[in-house]
Amino acid sequence: MGSKLGRLDIHFGDNLDILQGFDDGCFDLIYIDPPFNTGKRQAKTQLKTVQDDEAGDRTGFKGRRYRTTALGSRSFADAFDDFLSFIEPRLAQAHRLLKPDGSFFFHIDFREVHYCKVLIDQIFGRRSFMNEIIWAYDFGGRSKKKWSAKHDNLLWYVRDPKNYTFNFEAMDRIPYMAPGLVGKEKARRGKTPTDTWWHTIVPTNGKEKTGYPTQKPMGVLDRIIKVHSKPGDKILDFFAGSGTIGECAVRHGRHATLVDNNPEAIRVMQKRLDFAGPRLHQAP
């Protein structure tokens, strides 16, 4: 990651009101991960496990027993009567706020992606649609009634399909599935990713873990930051949640603006991003 940190601003309040206060064309890259409209309350309970052969309620490696203790939970409502009406004015603001060579990433899942793509096509123009990226992972339960959903969708749009940032050389490489077929040099260098990204979710006991529901892994968002922006660029996420895009941005020398109206999200971001000295702006 870059040695010089970028600046960081956190805004607490309704994102539509806050977005309307920004100047036209002031961001180089906008990424949003809005609620997926599952109709459920998203919740994450943090657990602490202690080895306890007598009263353990979980079995771990080599049959060892562990006792779990709940440390607390975080949650937010993920249900809208009309998701498209909710998201449309915010998408219009994203289009207004992008620089002429800027990119917009919309992170969603299978429930709403088809409707949202038609809507974004109308706002950005179909020619401005560049890719649908599939983030695939292999974690969680399996359905016995249908094919289990194990992917998210990222829609990439640009303001100008003839002028946008795409740093091919900054792209991370991935191993060849059959390295013996491509020669030692190619195998050593690895290959560039396609529009299907295989990456695990945030590990339960990983250093990244904040305990915030729907937290996304830095590996996925690092790729977006490095390829679709340059050092010194301004990045916006107005459904910031746990602040992953902010951490990726500032660690790579970009300047991040994060917006959320959930007090718990603000607390998580402030704690997580304390190293970057964030400035907190509260809506009146």
Torsion of CA 50, 44, 148, 60, to 10 degrees: 0
Residue 276 pLDDT greater than 60, yes or no: yes
**What pLDDT does 140 receive?**
81
What is the model's pLDDT at position 4? 87
pLDDT value at position 56? 62
Q: Which residues, 6 or more positions from 70, have their beta carbon under 8 angstroms from its beta carbon?
A: 45, 46, 47
For the chain, where are the E strands, in sequence order? 8-12, 27-32, 40-51, 58-59, 65-78, 98-108, 129-136, 151-158, 196-198, 234-237, 255-260, 279-282
Give the pLDDT of residue 203: 74
pLDDT of 37 reads 44
CA torsion 197-78-33-8 (nearest 10°) is: -130
Rounded mean pLDDT of 212-216? 85
Class for domain 8-39+79-170+197-282, per CATH?
alpha beta
pLDDT digits (tens, 9 = 90+) for 88-109: 999 999 999 999 999 999 999 9
pLDDT per residue as tens digits for the range 18-57: 999 999 999 999 999 998 544 444 333 444 455 666 666 5
pLDDT of 172 > 60? The answer is yes
Residue 256: pLDDT over 70: yes
What pLDDT does 40 receive? Answer: 42
At 218-232, the pLDDT tens digits run 999 999 999 999 999
All residues at 6 or more sequence positions from 27 whose CB lies less than 8 Å from its CB, including other chains:
97, 98, 99, 102, 234, 235, 236, 257
What is the C-alpha to C-alpha distance for residues 19 and 15, in angstroms, rounded to an integer? 6
Over residues 160-180, mean pLDDT:
95
* Residue 63 reports pLDDT greater than 90: no
Q: Between the CA of residue 158 and those of 29, 116, 121, 214, 278, what are the distances in Å? A: 9, 16, 11, 25, 28
Task: Identify the residue whose tokens are 């060579």.
Answer: 101
Parse the chain into domains and list their residue ranges. Answer: 8-39+79-170+197-282, 40-76
Q: What is the pLDDT of residues 235-248, one digit of tens each?
A: 999 999 999 999 99
Average pLDDT over residues 167-183: 93
Q: What DSSP assignment string belongs to 201-234?
A: ---TTSTT----TTPPPHHHHHHHHHHH--TT-E
Confidence of residue 193 (pLDDT cuts 50, 70, 90): very high
Q: How confident is the model at residue 71 (pLDDT cuts 50, 70, 90)?
A: very low
Mean pLDDT of all residues belonging to the chain: 87
Residue 75 confidence class, pLDDT cut points 50, 70, 90: very low
**Mean pLDDT (whole number) for 194-208:** 87
Cα separation, 76 vs 87, in Å, equals 17
What's the average model confidence in pLDDT over 256-270? 96
